[in-house]
Amino acid sequence: MAAAPAAERPKTSPKSIKFLFGGLAGMGATVFVQPLDLVKNRMQLSGAGAKGREYRTSLHALGSILRHEGLRGVYTGLSAGLLRQATYTTTRLGIYSVLLERFGGPDGTPPPFLAKAAMGMTAGAAGAFVGTPAEVALIRMTADGRLPPGERRGYRNVFDALVRMAREEGVLTLWRGCIPTMARAVVVNAAQLASYSQSKQFLLDSGHFRDDILCHFCASMISGLVTTAASMPVDIVKTRIQNMRTVDGKPEYRNGLDVLVKVVRYEGFFSLWKGFTPYYARLGPHTVLTFIFLEQMNKWYQRLFLSA
C-alpha cells in the first residue's frame, strides 16, 4: 500500500520580503504615533535627577510641548524614529517570521506558545543591538525641548545626532544603554510577538472572529496591554541611561540597577510604572498599526505573487 504523500508546506514570501515588510510596517506606524512617543519619553524623564515632576499628566505634557515648541515640536525626532524602525523592527520582525516558519509544522501550523516566546526574545535582542544607535538618538532628540536653551544638544536630524555623538563622545556612545535596551526588547518581544500570535489564535478558535482587520486589531490591543505592563520598568531604565549626561567625568547613573534604586528612592516604587497611560497610548496604537500593516502587506503579496 502506497504511503500517503507528505503534507505540502504552503508557499511563503522570501526572507528578504519578510524583513522589508517588517521595517515598512514599523515605519508606517511610527509616522502616526511619533507624538505619543515623544510624550512618553518626556513623562519618563520628568522627575529625573531628584527634580520635581515637570508634567502632571500626559495631556499636560502634550499641551506644554504644543505651547512652547509648536505643532512641529510634537514630531521632534521623527527621523530617528524612522531609522529605529528601519533597523530594529526590520531585524526583529524579519527574524521572528523566519523562526516561526522554520519551527512551524510541515502543514504551516504554528509552534507552541513557549517556543513563540523564545523566538520573540531572540528576535528582540538581535533587533535591539542593531537599533541601539537610532534609539539613543531618538531619546536625546525627543528630550531636548525640555532643557533650557543653553543645555540643548540641538541635533538637526538623526544623522547629525549619530555623527556628533561619535565625534564628541566616542563611537561606543552610540551603543550606550545597549544592555537595558536589549533586556527591554527581550521583555517587549516575548510579550508582544508571542501574545499577539496567541491572542490571534485564541480569537480565531473562539469562532467569533475571522482572519480580518477586526481580529488583527483586537489581538494587537491585547498584545499591547500585556507588553506595556511587562516592560515599563525596563523601559524607564533604558530611557534614563541613554539620555544621561556625564558631569566632571561622572555619569548620572552607574548602571541599570542604579537607575532602579534611584527612581524607587526619590520618586517611589510605582514610579517605575510612571505614565502607564501615555506608554500604552503609544505602544498600543503602534502595535496595532504595525501588525495591521504587516498582515495587509503579507496578504497582498500572497494574493499577487504566491496564489498563481
Q: What is the pLDDT of residues 35-77, one digit of tens each?
A: 888 888 888 888 776 566 778 888 888 899 999 998 888 999 9
CA dist., res. 234 & res. 97, Å (int):
25
Flag whether 10 is in a domain: no
Q: Closest Cα to residue 57, out of 285, 221, 281?
A: 281
Flag whether 305 is in a domain: no
Rg (CA), the chain: 21
Do residues 301 and 45 lie in contact, with contact meaning Cβ atoms separated by under 8 Å? Answer: no
For residue 69, give the CATH number of its domain.
1.50.40.10
**How do residues 274-292 score in pLDDT, each as one tens digit?**
778 777 877 777 877 888 8
Flag whether 1 is in a domain: no
Q: Please say if the pLDDT value at position 269 is more than 80.
A: yes
Q: Name the β-bridge partners of 251.
A: 246
pLDDT at 51: 62
**How do residues 74-104 score in pLDDT, each as one tens digit?**
999 999 999 999 998 788 877 887 888 888 8
Flag whether 121 is in a domain: yes
**How do residues 193-230 score in pLDDT, each as one tens digit?**
678 878 898 999 998 998 888 898 888 888 888 888 88
Flag whether 5 is in a domain: no
Flag whether 190 is in a domain: yes
For 37, the domain range is 15-300
Number of neighbouring beta carbons within 10 Å of residue 207: 7
The count of domains in the chain is 1
**How do residues 136-177 score in pLDDT, each as one tens digit?**
999 999 988 888 888 889 899 999 999 999 999 999 999 999
pLDDT at 7: 52
Flag whether 3 is in a domain: no
Flag whether 205 is in a domain: yes
pLDDT at 52: 65
Do residues 107 and 5 lie in contact, with contact meaning Cβ atoms separated by under 8 Å? Answer: no
CA dist., res. 58 & res. 61, Å (int):
5
Phi, psi of 50 (to 5 degrees): 60, 20
CA dist., res. 35 & res. 73, Å (int):
9
**Mean pLDDT, range 95-116, rounded to an integer:** 81
